[in-house]
Chain A
Amino acid sequence: MSAVTSIFGIPGVLIEPRFAFRQLANHPPKPADVFKGTALWLGALPPVFAAIGMHEHGWRLGTVEPLLLSWAATIWIAILYFGALLFGFLSSALVGRWMAATYGANQDLGLYFGLLTIVGAPLTLGSVMHLYPDVFLNLLVLVPCLIWSMYLLYTGVPLALGIEPERGMLMASSIIGYLFVAFVSLLGISAFLWTVGIGPRIGV
């Protein structure tokens, strides 16, 4: 059984990521196994932590009063957050596999599910800081987690997908490019929805 098909294998993966990436390359898991066993649970952590934190302490944007929401509103936001994370995970896996032909990488979808689960693990675990949703404290923890994830992506692409480090570097940069574009699209779509009246009440 691959380490990425069970949530309990994740600490070991983060301690010895190179071994995990090689194991992934040698024994590609089934996409459904990775999704059910690990990705879904890791992806659920940030929305759950955020929902508890927002309800208990309110979202602190740095202003005097924390923004307190009802349980109903909090749960809706958490569901949307979970949906956005799942979309990011699935679309990145599919886009990565689509890029594989250009970079001569292995096209087994299970590899991409496994790779992205490992890459995303530091960020999802770091989201424990959402329990106390203060922007500064969250940045303090999540920025090192982001750097850790970037390191895992650049290390993992060549090892897990069986390509030379140079191609891996280029492919990892392309995946980052996609993630940035996807993220900024999400910001743009959110801004558009707020303007047409969906979401926070703003004076436009």
Chain B
Amino acid sequence: MDNAADYYEDRLVLAFTVCSIVWALFGMAAGLYAAAELVWPRLNFGVPELSFGRLRTVHTNAVLFGFGVSALMATSIYSVQRTCHTRLFAPEFAWYVFIGWQLTIFFGIAGIALGATGGKEYAEMEWPYDVLITVVWVAYAVVFFGTIATRKIHAIYISNWFYGAFIIVVAMLHIVNNLAVPVDLFKSYSLYAGAQDAIVQWWYGHNAVGFLLTGGFLGMMYYFLPKQAERPIWSYRLSVVAFWAFTYSYIWAGPHHLHFNSIPEWVQSLAMVMSLVLLAPSWATMINGIMTVAGAWRRLREDPALKFIVLALAFYGLATFEGPMMAIRSVNIISHFTEWTIGHVHSGALGWNALITYGTFYFLIPRMCGCDLYSVRWANWHFYLALAGTMLYILSMWGAGVTQGLLLLSLDEYGIVKYSFTDVMVAMRPYYQLRLIGGALFFAGTLLMGLNLYRTIEAGELVRVRPPRPGTGGVLAGASA
């Protein structure tokens, strides 16, 4: 008899994937509109919900928690079952994670648009949403680690170590940073004060980048890259060494966001040194990825998805080189509070996170739906749109950042700041226009992918796959869900 409990829980993966794409489109559209407001400020039409401050926060929350975390939940649930040779632990419970996460993020972002904000970057959602996020996250941890605990093979594959670190550390960061005293239903104040609050916030902020945008997505890379290249990881030992080096060093680096602020200088110096140390595990991982692809030339020809992952690795290398360099205090004094930081963030967010996710989705959806990708040509177009968009974005922000840094620090013959805020904003205009073009190209590519994958899902039916029995390979059931 055909029993659903015999198969991997892939409907959930598909649901998370679809939501991730919808969040990507929404979040990037919000970002694009915010970028347009910097060129044409009147675009906010005097509507508070469309003001730059709120729209930018809607953008960051939608892409980070809607697009990024949904993608990580989809891929972790897909890969943990396959690497543990077992079905998902408590699958009904996992559906509550899906519904709980999507609703919490939706209402949290709606709250931000309406003006309810805690004021901490990347942790703007107010306390009721923080409580809901904690509950959903614990449920996600139970599902993920429950699957690992009930695995049918001894080894825990490296992708699960990265996903596991992502789940544990994000829980720790979220709870500690969001401890607050509620005043009413939509207003609270942080439990910490002054410089301590800033240190806790940037311990959270930087490790959200580290363990969510880096650790989580490295979990994605370590599972899907060898699958797509049809080759094992170039050096498994290097991946394990890099994991522990990465986990140990990242957690110290947060205070580099507070250089030249009112925190102890030794804390700043420690953060700078640990940021420089981070280069070693980051580049070890990049080399491991590139060497895994080297030799899989045939796959590059056949699979458009692999191209995205290769390019993502190149941008990962760039972003993880640039980050430590910007953490050096004498560089940071020029780059801090300028668009250079925005360019750096987007070289990681667009070039690394989004591209590796796109590559993974192009791999996942045709396989899960049992049919070919609707249009390989569209996927190739998407690749070039994403490449051009990311490059224009980064280059424009580099130009803007260096110009801004120099203008803000320029002094006249009396030692007084030479350029006014208005002067600096006028100087930014061409760069903002270029950034808008770059963002529009990237968004157009994402839209094309959404349409391509929608057509693919429409043409196919969910393929159900059974976990392998000991000593056998996986069995394709072929039946529709």
Contacts and interface: CB of A to CB of B under 8 A. Distances in A.
B294 A170 contact: yes
A173 B311 contact: yes
B429 A62 contact: yes
Interface stretch (A11-19, A79-87, A113-121, A186-194): A186-194
Nearest to A188: B325
Contacts of B388: 147, 150
Contacts of A196: 330
Specify which of A135, A176, A183, A187 lies most central, judged by the most chain B CB atoms within 10 Å of its CB.
Answer: A187
Contacts of A22: none
Contacts of A180: 314, 318, 394
A203 B410 contact: yes
A181 B320 CA distance: 10
Interface in B417-439: 417, 419, 423-424, 426-431, 433-434
Contacts of B431: 135, 139
Interface stretch (B107-115, B118-126, B395-403): B395-403
A155 to B, nearest CB: 13
A164 B294 CA distance: 13
Contacts of B406: 194, 200, 202
A61 B434 contact: no
A170 B403 CA distance: 33
A30 B402 CA distance: 39
Contacts of B326: 188
A40 to B, nearest CB: 26
A63 interface: yes
A177 B314 contact: yes
Given A63-B419, A192-B331, A169 B409 contact: no
B157 to A, nearest CB: 25
A72 interface: no
A10 B411 CA distance: 45
A201 B405 CA distance: 12
A168 to B, nearest CB: 10
B430 A203 contact: no
Nearest to A192: B330
Contact of B328 (A164, A170, A192): A192
A195 B333 contact: yes
Given A62-B430, A194-B334, A167 B297 contact: yes
Contacts of B473: none
A187 B333 contact: no
A1 interface: no
B314 A184 contact: no
Contacts of B318: 177, 180-181, 184
A185 interface: yes
Task: Sort chain A's interface into a size bin.
Answer: 35 or more
B310 interface: yes
A136 interface: yes
Interface residues of B, number: 55
B161 interface: no
Contacts of B415: 203
A135 B399 contact: yes
B317 interface: yes
A167 B296 CA distance: 9
Contact of B297 (A136, A139, A143, A166): A166
Nearest to A171: B294
A201 B399 CA distance: 19
A147 B387 CA distance: 10
Given A103-B294, A174-B290, A136 B331 contact: no
Contacts of B426: 62-64
A116 B335 CA distance: 31
Specify which of B321, B334, B395, B411 lies most central, judged by the most chain A CB atoms within 10 Å of its CB.
Answer: B334
B411 A203 contact: yes
A88 to B, nearest CB: 15
Contacts of A166: 297-298, 300-301
B293 interface: yes
A61 B403 contact: yes
B151 interface: no
A143 B426 CA distance: 20
A188 B331 contact: yes
A150 B388 CA distance: 9
Given A164-B297, A177-B314, A63 B427 contact: yes
B342 to A, nearest CB: 14
Contacts of A173: 310-311, 314
Interface string B365-408: 00000000000000000000001100110111011001101110
B430 A170 contact: no
Contacts of A202: 334, 406, 409-411
A189 B248 CA distance: 28
Contacts of A164: 297, 301
A191 B331 contact: yes
B307 interface: yes
A61 B328 contact: no
A187 B310 contact: no
Nearest to B332: A191
A102 interface: yes
Given A103-B294, A188-B331, A204-B333, A63 B407 contact: yes
B322 interface: yes
Contact of B300 (A62, A169, A188): A169
A67 to B, nearest CB: 10
9 contacts: A64-B426, A135-B430, A146-B391, A181-B318, A184-B321, A185-B325, A195-B331, A195-B333, A203-B417
Going nearest first, the 5 A-B pairs with the smallest beta carbon separation are A62-B427, A136-B430, A202-B409, A166-B300, A177-B314
Interface of B: 290, 293-294, 297-298, 300-301, 307, 310-311, 314-315, 317-318, 321-322, 325-326, 328, 330-331, 333-335, 340, 387-388, 391-392, 394-396, 398-399, 402-403, 405-407, 409-411, 415, 417, 419, 423-424, 426-431, 433-434
Given A64-B423, A139-B399, 18 more contacts: A62-B430, A136-B429, A143-B395, A143-B434, A164-B301, A166-B297, A166-B298, A167-B300, A170-B294, A173-B311, A177-B315, A177-B318, A181-B317, A185-B321, A190-B402, A192-B331, A200-B406, A201-B411
